[in-house]
Amino acid sequence: MSTVLKVENLSHRYASAWAIRDINFEITQSGVIGLLGSNGAGKSTTMNIICGVLNQTEGKVFINGIDKSGNPRLAKKQIGFLPQTPPLYTDFTVNEYLTYTAELRFIEKNKIKKSVADVMDRTGISHFSSRLIKNLSGGYRQRVGIAQAIIHKPSIVILDEPTNGLDPNQIIEARKLIKEIAQDHTILLSSHVLSEINLLCRDIIMIEAGRMVFSDSMESFNNYIQPASLLVKMENPPTASELLKIPGVTKVEFISDKQCRIFFSNETGISEAIIAASMQHNWKLQEINLEKSVLDDVFKQLSQQS
């Protein structure tokens, strides 16, 4: 499987302070990869270096095996970028603006008209082709921004807070569009909204205080903190004091008459012990589920490791 993006020992210093230090990751397939981090963690610096907006102090960036420093023009042809504030010329019509961006991307002149028509169709803005961008809603401006990022069919698309400032309906539409684009492109997406990351992303890269603290699947991120509670439903539940007699149970909270949350220590086999006790005492166990880590808690714990 070919590598779309490889970041190798990436470091950057502003004056005497390092913004990022020894960032390493590799992306090998299409889909959405989330870039997480607190404000000032180094996300924007990393994205700007990948896109060629900023030259790194140390390290390498490879796009489809092309060294961005050694051959920047060829490498940048493989990249689409939508910064947090879309780079729109609002006095242009949608068609004029996308034609201009196609020219900037060195699309052949005889292919520009078709490229513009195709990308407008793909992003659902064809019916606004002759409208001035300043007269579009925030959601449609964002679509124009995404259109300029993919008009040249790049290998990797970098989106910085793509749903920022949109209303709930516009956010839903933007997420749907991102999912569609991710079928054919690799997307590196930065967002502060953890629920959005959870909905869209296959893998997670997290940077804190300029250093990588996590790089793995969304599932691994969800389960980073070892779950320490079970949700249990019983037809004939016992009292909390009876449940506390089970080895490993540390705390019991009743959510309703028949459902409770059972906290436990690192004791192995806690589920089996509860099942056995239920059978012995006729508690009529109906459901038992291990609770997943809360995304906010995982983010907080990883942030504190930097």
Q: Per-residue pLDDT tens for 228-250?
A: 688 999 999 999 999 999 988 99
The domain of 268 spans 229-290
Q: What is the mean pLDDT of residues 159-173?
A: 89
User: For residue 2, what pLDDT band results from cuts at 50, 70 and 90?
Assistant: confident
Per-residue pLDDT reduced to its tens digit, 83-124: 988 889 999 999 999 999 999 999 999 999 999 999 999 999
Residue 305 lies in a domain: no
Domain match, 54 and 187 both: yes
Per-residue pLDDT reduced to its tens digit, 52-73: 989 999 999 999 999 999 999 9
Domain match, 189 and 83 both: yes
How many domains are contained in the chain? Answer: 2
Residue 304 lies in a domain: no
- CATH number, residue 41: 3.40.50.300
Residue 300 lies in a domain: no
The tokens for 38 are 């607190």
Question: According to the model, what pLDDT value does residue 118 have?
Answer: 96
Domain match, 210 and 241 both: no
- CATH number, residue 241: 3.30.70
Domain match, 170 and 252 both: no
Question: According to the model, what pLDDT value does residue 292 have?
Answer: 67
Per-residue pLDDT reduced to its tens digit, 258-299: 999 998 886 568 889 999 999 999 999 999 987 766 677 777
Q: Which of 200, 222, 244 is at the close of a domain?
A: 222
Domain match, 161 and 42 both: yes
DSSP 183-198: TTSEEEEE-S-HHHHH
Domain match, 176 and 269 both: no
Strand order in the sheet with 79-82: 79-82, 156-160, 186-190, 31-36, 203-208, 211-217
| C-alpha dist (Å) from residue 142 to 28, 60, 175 | 27, 31, 11
Question: According to the model, what pLDDT value does residue 268 have?
Answer: 67
Residue 302 lies in a domain: no
- 306 has pLDDT over 60: no
Question: According to the model, what pLDDT value does residue 127 have?
Answer: 96
DSSP 216-281: EEHHHHHTSSPP-EEEEEESS---HHHHTTSTTEEEEEESSSSEEEEEE-S-TTHHHHHHHHHHHH
Residue 120 lies in a domain: yes
